[in-house]
Structure 1
Amino acid sequence: MQKNADERYQTVKDLLLDLKHLKRELEFSDELERSHIPAFAKSANVGAVNQSSENATIMQPAVSTQNNISQQPSSAEYVFGEVRKHKFVWLGALAILLLGAIGLGYWFFASRSASATQITSIAVMPFVNESGNAEVEYLSDGMTETLISSLSQLPKLNVKARSSVFRYKGKDTNAQTIGKELNVQAILNGRVVQRGNDLTLYIELVDANTENTLWKADYNRPMSNLITLQSEIASDVSQKLQARISNVEARKIAKSYTANAEAYQLYLKGRFYWNRRTAENIKKAIEQFRAATEKDPNYALAYVGLADSYIALGNYADASTNETLPQAKAYAMRAVELDDSLAEVHTSLGNINVHSWNWAEAEREYKRAIELNPNYPTAHQWYSLWLTFNGRLDEALTEIKHAYDLDPLSPIINANLARTYLLKGELDTAAEQCRKFIEFDPAQPQAYLILAFIRQKQLRHSEAIAEAEKAVELSQRASDKLAALGYFYAAAGKRAQALEILRELKEKYDSRKSKAAYIAWVYAGLGDNDEAFAWLEKGVRDRDGFLAQYVTLFTALDSLRSDPRYAELLRRIGLSHAVK
């Protein structure tokens, strides 16, 4: 084997070619040997024919000495002679070499293929905005999210979701730590610099175990080429991660959903606000998504953003679903008309149907979304909730675990996983899930809320109250956390505190900042079932799209389940077959 890499065989094809040449040379040498005249005989004949020629003079010494010693053949003649005498041995050796080469070729290409496809999991870290301008933060965040979405189209690649990787934003965390916490093989880092109309992106693919750089590149483009740049980056990265990508997968990865650069930037701004999940930011997101559709009326993803935002208004702004759902559905249907292949839009339609109590249609949409993109965690998360609503807890656990594998640091997915364990009666496992996430992010109120319900089930009332108080504090007195605290106060015999929270919730309800079902929680804790059902009836009357969630996902109404009115309530919202 040559030490110089340039002198080695670069492919097995080259090796086989040289072996074939050797075989032909051996055959040619055999033929040549049969027709070869030895030098001493030839020189004697020449001397006899032309004694005066120069050749005769040169060859004469050979003639004069042939009686004294045997003619010594040259090294080439020796090899030819050996080949002739051991022809079958040489042919056998050649056959062995050929078989060995074939085996070597199989190993070479198999190992090369294996090494090329060994990266099966990746975390695309939040691109760093190095523009010196916080107002373009939407750009670095949006480019990260778009790349995550594109790479998730590869069915054999586990791409960690946005909510998991963005937990590291602004933190100086090394690749090995991220790799272990997210269970990925590779990390993709990026830096974005915008100067006027010029955009520069630096990206680097890093081995999460060794922290070695596997590949890096930089891209310089005008902002007007932002869309094609995103497609180019997605294609380049996917080729570095996996050796073989089908034409269909390649098209999905490089797909652009708009040709309008302004519309795309408005969409990125919309997602930037949407991901902050407050009432004010969701309203800002709606403005940006709507502006994107005005720039490009055929921009399907912008309509998906509008649909998601109007659904979220019912949760984060306590808006009436009677007002928000029709708009959400109209935008989602427009997105389907434009592009039926988007997993996001089918997931949104599933959610809209859940809040409209159209359960069969919701399940079809969730299944369609998962079929289109099995790596979309939100589809698995929301389908898990659908299964929970319908009492299929074992299947719900499978789906939420799948979502957790894709997005292990999502606060809502962690909360849903813990809650599913709680509803299945696996209290210790549920508590451990909450504890792990609180250790990672102690500022998330939802984990404390679920943990409070777990402690209540364990009859550890003082601990339940303490956890609920923490959730109320962190959420700035959000209605659902207040309602849970009121319920825990009531269950622990702290009636005065429960009534005070009840008063606050009723004021919120009157100003359309709370749900009727929350008030029912507190009445159930106080043991006043008639008032609890009266407020649940108001939820039915209001067509509260979140009513199924408040009734089935939390244990605050467990004391009502044996009452016939509870079964009737489930029947009226289409869940008569749900767990009692």
Structure 2
Amino acid sequence: MISSDESFGVKLKSLIDKNLPDSSLSADVICREMGVSRSSLHRLVKEHTDLSVNLFIRQCRLERAKFLLKTTELRIAEIAELVGIPNPQNFSKYFTEAFAVSPTEFRRQKPESESITPDPAPEPALIQPITDPVYTPQPEDNLPVVVHKRQYRYLIAGVIVAGLAGLALYVWLQLGRQHHGVSSLLGTNQSIAILPFKNMGPTDTGPLVEGITDDLHTVLSLGDSLKVVARTSSDQYQNTKKSIWQIGDELQVANLLKGSVLKNGNQLQVKLELIRTNDDIRLWAKTFSGSYNDLFRLTDQMGQEVLQQLNPSGVQRTQTISRPVPTTNTVAYNAFLQGRQLMLTRSEDKLKAAISQFEQAVQLDEHFADAYAYKAVCYQLLIDMGYQTGQAIWNQGKQNALTAIQFDSTNSTAYATLGSLYANAYQWKQAEAAFRQALRHNANDAQANYWYSLLLRSVGRLKEAMTYSTKAHTLDPLYPVILTGHVLNCAYAGHFDLASQTLADGKLLFGDSFLYAFGQSLTALAKDDYAQAANAYREALRLNPNLTTQWPSLYYCEARLGQPAHARAYLATQPETPQILYNKAVVCAGLGDQVNCLRYLRQAADGGYVYRDLLVFPVFRPYHRNPAFRAILRQYGLPDSLPATAQISSGL
């Protein structure tokens, strides 16, 4: 006789099996379908499998995938979709963690009947036999049937469900003992993302809500060994309908922090909830109240208490985290918040308006370091976006960054901005010193990690560049700019498998963006695959016609493929500014015209311009041993050759 718990297990496993293709299957759905409370479901699953409900669902998906890999010829991506894990990267990661072998390697192994000792057969009394009626073909069965690909997949899934239904209870009882490596699926507790806080007050308090969220992010980022996902990624979940498990899965974090803010007159009320992502359990919640004048004390208190919840044994350590109060002038802080809000679109007029707001803030509080730092960021963005050029605006950015550091020697934003400004001016040593200071004061700053990786790439330290762009991508996994930069670091270092895998992982995220095509083009270019590179450049230019700096690279590829018409036309029609002279050098390299290539490079360099990645750009590989090329590198403070390890990995 089957006990009530065992009967529940059979029903639960059957329900999960029938809904495996549905990636939204969750504890809430199961509770609704089976008519049980969330706590009862959690207790029963925990007792039988020692897993949370979500991890049990995931393990069922992986067991099904294991079966399909051995018994069908379906592609791995199709199997991943059939079992409800449509993201191939996540599917491969979960499968490897559960079974200590990748899906590809598992499929290559011998059939289970040859290499795996079968488990003992389940008790016959516990198996419910399934008897299908005998089917007699009818004349209508000869009619042609059109089955769409997706229908075909679900048809296979249905057949498999029927075939495995008799083993439902056995799997239920065995999973608790067979979840190889499942504990690793829980991940580390030392990771968190802050979801966009809700504004419970009038619309005009929106910048304040943003400021509190950002300030709390800064406090948490100062925690030792804590991964705090950058807001560029976490802000994408504004008003999301995705489940806690899905968000945690996509951001690869163990915890989410949700919050709401209400400002009533001069009083603030902030409600926080800390939620564990693998089972959607609320670990902690608290309401903080105080005067708007005590805002920074309040956010520090919130941050310290969240850190304590994440690491109860490290109370003494987390209490040592401190930072200067940004400002005691609430009017100055309001102007600062308005400036931060204006920066978001990065348009020229909004950046200039933001500078005015930051200027107002420092007039009200001349020691307001963050206002100086973000004013420097605006000047840097005006340069990077191509809105303004020249020594004067560069000096403005540098001076504001240095002023911020003068008033707050731990201001990581100011150091990172200063590093980027120095790098744009080819002042590599000063840039590295600034970036190191930025990361010393905030190792969780995704942007600083990314910018530092770009500097390391420019000076040929490609292995280090990959290390820092990997960390930046981990901290900001949904930001296409960082993902593309990481792809380039991998490709230039000769790690084409990693570059291709990163592109594949990011396809769902930004496959329709020019950045994706741009990453494809440079990866192909690094492999000397000129046909693929040319196609990718054309796609990038189709998606973003303003990407005019990439036309010469396309003409380079065409010339290498024996199609020189566009390259020759470009050389004949374009003016000779320093930037265009450099572009002409690229085109001449494609034509195999070494003399004119080096002549144009020399003229561009003498005019004050070289491409920051000149040392590692694949176009100029054939010139690395040329004395004239090396002289240009030295002129701009770059090493005149790549390190030996970089040369080997890049095939030089």
Common fold by TM > 0.5: yes
Residue number in structure 1 paired with 2:190: 120
> Is the CA contact (8 Å cut-off) linking 1:403 and 1:413 kept in structure 2?
yes
| Letter in structure 2 aligned against 1:471 | A
Name the CA distance, whole Å, in 1 between partners of 2:338 and 2:545.
Answer: 26
Q: 2:425 matched to 1:362?
A: no
Larger Cα-atom Rg: 1
Name the CA distance, whole Å, in 2 between partners of 1:502 and 1:288.
Answer: 45
| Letter in structure 2 aligned against 1:171 | T
Residue number in structure 2 paired with 1:257: 326
Q: 2:372 matched to 1:303?
A: yes
Shift of 1:125: 1.4
Q: 2:634 matched to 1:565?
A: no
Residue number in structure 2 paired with 1:40: none
Name the CA distance, whole Å, in 2 between partners of 1:390 and 1:141.
Answer: 37
Residue number in structure 1 paired with 2:40: none
Residue number in structure 1 paired with 2:442: 373
Shift of 1:495: 3.7
Q: 2:201 matched to 1:138?
A: no
Corresponding residue SS for 2:638: coil
Distance 1:288 1:533, change over 3 A: farther
Name the CA distance, whole Å, in 1 between partners of 2:211 and 2:539.
Answer: 33
| Letter in structure 2 aligned against 1:522 | V
| Letter in structure 2 aligned against 1:209 | N
Name the CA distance, whole Å, in 1 between partners of 2:593 and 2:617.
Answer: 18
Distance 1:170 1:479, change over 3 A: farther
Match of residue 159, structure 1, among 215, 223, 228 = 228
> Is the CA contact (8 Å cut-off) linking 1:200 and 1:221 kept in structure 2?
yes
Residue number in structure 2 paired with 1:42: none
Deviation string, structure 1 residues 149-176 (Cα, Å, up to 9, x no partner): 1100011211111222123334322211
Distance 1:296 1:520, change over 3 A: farther
Distance 1:341 1:136, change over 3 A: same
Residue number in structure 2 paired with 1:206: 275
> Is the CA contact (8 Å cut-off) linking 1:175 and 1:208 kept in structure 2?
yes
Name the CA distance, whole Å, in 2 between partners of 1:225 and 1:550.
Answer: 47
> Is the CA contact (8 Å cut-off) linking 1:517 and 1:550 kept in structure 2?
no
| Letter in structure 1 aligned against 2:505 | K
> Is the CA contact (8 Å cut-off) linking 1:204 and 1:217 kept in structure 2?
yes
Match of residue 419, structure 1, among 477, 482, 488 = 488
Under a length normalisation based on structure 2, what TM-score does the superposition of the two structures give?
0.63
Name the CA distance, whole Å, in 1 between partners of 2:226 and 2:502.
Answer: 26
> Is the CA contact (8 Å cut-off) linking 1:227 and 1:261 kept in structure 2?
no
What are the residue-to-residue correspondences of 1:82-231 with 2, within 5 Å? 119-131=189-201, 133=203, 136-193=205-262, 199-219=268-288, 223-231=292-300
Query: What are the ranges of 5 or more consecutive residues in structure 2 without an aligned counterpart?
Result: 1-187, 648-652
Deviation string, structure 1 residues 126-170 (Cα, Å, up to 9, x no partner): 22345563x654333333222111100011211111222123334
* Worse overlay, 437-446 or 203-212: 437-446
Q: 2:594 matched to 1:525?
A: no
Shift of 1:241: 2.4
Residue number in structure 2 paired with 1:467: 536
Name the CA distance, whole Å, in 2 between partners of 1:363 and 1:319.
Answer: 25
Match of residue 552, structure 1, among 598, 615, 630 = 615
Residue number in structure 2 paired with 1:103: none
Match of residue 540, structure 1, among 585, 605, 611 = 605
Shift of 1:188: 0.7
Under a length normalisation based on structure 1, what TM-score does the superposition of the two structures give?
0.70
Corresponding residue SS for 1:549: coil
Q: 2:479 matched to 1:390?
A: no
Distance 1:328 1:442, change over 3 A: same
Deviation string, structure 1 residues 330-374 (Cα, Å, up to 9, x no partner): 112111211112222222232232223332232222223222222
Name the CA distance, whole Å, in 1 between partners of 2:232 and 2:496.
Answer: 26
Match of residue 430, structure 1, among 486, 496, 499 = 499
Distance 1:328 1:254, change over 3 A: closer
| Letter in structure 2 aligned against 1:123 | A
| Letter in structure 1 aligned against 2:608 | R
Match of residue 479, structure 2, among 407, 410, 428 = 410
Residue number in structure 1 paired with 2:76: none
Residue number in structure 1 paired with 2:158: none
Name the CA distance, whole Å, in 1 between partners of 2:363 and 2:479.
Answer: 32
Name the CA distance, whole Å, in 2 between partners of 1:256 and 1:381.
Answer: 27
| Letter in structure 2 aligned against 1:208 | T
Distance 1:494 1:167, change over 3 A: farther
Corresponding residue SS for 1:122: strand
Name the CA distance, whole Å, in 2 between partners of 1:269 and 1:529.
Answer: 53
Distance 1:378 1:198, change over 3 A: same
Distance 1:215 1:428, change over 3 A: same
Shift of 1:281: 3.9
* Worse overlay, 259-268 or 149-158: 259-268
Shift of 1:577: 4.1
| Letter in structure 1 aligned against 2:589 | A
Name the CA distance, whole Å, in 2 between partners of 1:473 and 1:279.
Answer: 24
Corresponding residue SS for 1:184: coil
What are the residue-to-residue correspondences of 1:17-32 with 2, within 5 Å? none
Shift of 1:437: 1.5
Residue number in structure 1 paired with 2:150: none
Distance 1:465 1:241, change over 3 A: same
| Letter in structure 2 aligned against 1:346 | Y
Aligned residues: 457
> Is the CA contact (8 Å cut-off) linking 1:568 and 1:576 kept in structure 2?
no
Corresponding residue SS for 2:482: helix
Corresponding residue SS for 1:155: coil
Residue number in structure 2 paired with 1:96: none
